[in-house]
Amino acid sequence: MSIQPLLETMDKLQEAHEALLELAKVKTPILVSNDIDQLNMIVNRENKWVRAIAEANQQRIQIIGSYLISRGYNPNPKITVGDLIKVIFKAEEKQALMDAQQKLLATIEELKQNNIINQQLIEQSLSFVNYSLDLVIGPPEDDLVYRNPNQAKSGNRLGMFDRRG
């Protein structure tokens, strides 16, 4: 069995992650400008790509399982592309798979960095909203305990675990 189907699936994963990366880059100025409508559109497109990644990942697991069976190994859904590279003996197949893996990992790392920046922008925006609410409404009242006025006060009643004795 050839690794060509796996390389095609890796290309699908690469395409989806690159699309998410582009959306993350577009999202940054939208977060800064606080354009909620544009942000909703981007989030919807991101969800589409996340579903595509999940499907491609399932295909990857199935293809790796089939490849392992064809080579006489037991299939294991936890085996990664890196693990598979170790059992491939053809140099050109090994190199092609390593190149696809490195390209995908680099894209994922760049996506993570962009998402960290976007997350920080969202957190700053939420902090500003909370601060603004505190200015308008006032700070939350701390340590207030609300009791039912109709409930009789029990005095110094000790609970079952508070007894001394």
- Identify the burial level of 10 via C-beta atoms within 10 angstroms of its C-beta, where 0-12 means exposed, 13-18 middle and 19 or more buried: buried
Count of residues in the chain? 165
CA dist list (Å): 39 to 26, 27, 117, 122: 9, 7, 15, 11
* Beta carbons of 60 and 6 less than 8 angstroms apart: yes
Question: In this predicted model, what pLDDT tens digit does every residue of 90-100 receive, in sequence order?
Answer: 999 999 999 99
Collapsing DSSP to helix, strand or coil, 78 comes out as coil
- Identify the burial level of 77 via C-beta atoms within 10 angstroms of its C-beta, where 0-12 means exposed, 13-18 middle and 19 or more buried: exposed
First to last CA, the chain: 78
Q: ∠ CA 17-7-18 to the nearest 5 degrees?
A: 15
Taking the C-alpha atoms of residue 129 and residue 126, their distance in angstroms, rounded to an integer, is 5
pTM beyond 0.85: the answer is no
Question: In this predicted model, what pLDDT tens digit does every residue of 45-99 receive, in sequence order?
Answer: 999 999 999 999 999 999 999 998 988 888 888 888 988 898 888 999 999 999 9
pLDDT at 72: 87
**pLDDT of 30 above 80:** yes
Question: In this predicted model, what pLDDT tens digit does every residue of 105-164 receive, in sequence order?
Answer: 999 999 999 999 999 988 988 888 888 887 888 766 655 566 666 665 555 555 555 555
pLDDT at 77: 84
Superfamily of domain 4-137: FlgN-like (1.20.58.300)
Q: Please count the helices (runs of H) and the strands (runs of E) in the chain.
A: 4, 0
Which of 19 and 150 is assigned the larger pLDDT? 19
**pLDDT of 16 above 60:** yes
Q: Which value, in Å, is the radius of gyration of the alpha carbons in the chain?
A: 27
